[in-house]
Amino acid sequence: SSSIIALSPGMKQGVLDRGYPSNKIAVIPNGSDIDNFAADSSASKQFCVSRPWLGDHPLLVYAGSIGKVNGLEYLVRLAKHLMLIRSNIRILIVGDGALRQQLLDQSSQLGVLGLNLFVEDKVPKSEVPQVLSACTMTSSLFIDLPEMRSNSANKFFDGLAAGKPIFLNYGGWMHDLVVHHQCGVAAWGRSLQDVAFELDQRMNDHSWLSQSGLRARELAAKYFERNMLASQLENVLT
């Protein structure tokens, strides 16, 4: 190849480790579509009204694949811990995948399905902004594999573009961004009990939510805005 584009610093390091020259590797992650994910109060209201179980509860959303690598049983166990501390948080999983039925079975067995955890069918990408407009916090999750710490998941950048605090349960460069820019809750390496207590506090703190969401959107605009990254790609190609 004349050049290689890596989607994260860790992916670049993986290419470097195999002897490819550093000056021929560009790092261009997935981008944030700030215009499409701008807050829409009418869409948010419509979303909430159509879900009687939601009411005015804080909402944590996961929108994406339900596969082995995503490890969504983490959210099932988190929902149980939130229930034990009588948190008012609701969790919504929107998506499909090979482990969807297993997820439903686990949720039912733990007694959280339909109480504080809900699962809906996947929606077209064009409808994801409506989902994120209605949520209090969005999330990106993976099983704890070192290789996954270099991922460049679209859902992370969509959440930033929507100006929502981000919930992560894995380490790596995204974890470092959330911690450094104070734009969400980083759960990696922590007990579910501690995470549940922090989420319950943060998601009911309107001042924290507002400031964290603002920092998330600022992060998107400064480093991950789609048109800016497209220009970087064009420079590599030309």
pLDDT means per 10 residues, the chain with 238 residues, are 95 95 96 89 89 96 96 98 98 97 98 98 93 96 94 95 97 97 98 98 98 97 96 95
The pLDDT value recorded for residue 159 is: 96
Q: Please give the Cα distance from 106 to 79 (Å, whole number).
A: 11
The pLDDT value recorded for residue 40 is: 81
The pLDDT value recorded for residue 176 is: 97
Q: Please give the Cα distance from 93 to 73 (Å, whole number).
A: 11
| Amino acid identity, position 90 | R
Q: What is the pTM of this model?
A: 0.95
| Burial of residue 213, with CB atoms counted within 10 A of its CB: 0-12 exposed, 13-18 middle, 19 or more buried | buried
The pLDDT value recorded for residue 41 is: 84
**Strand 90-94 relative to strand 117-120, pairing:** parallel
Q: Strand runs (DSSP E) across 153-198, as ranges?
A: 166-168, 184-186
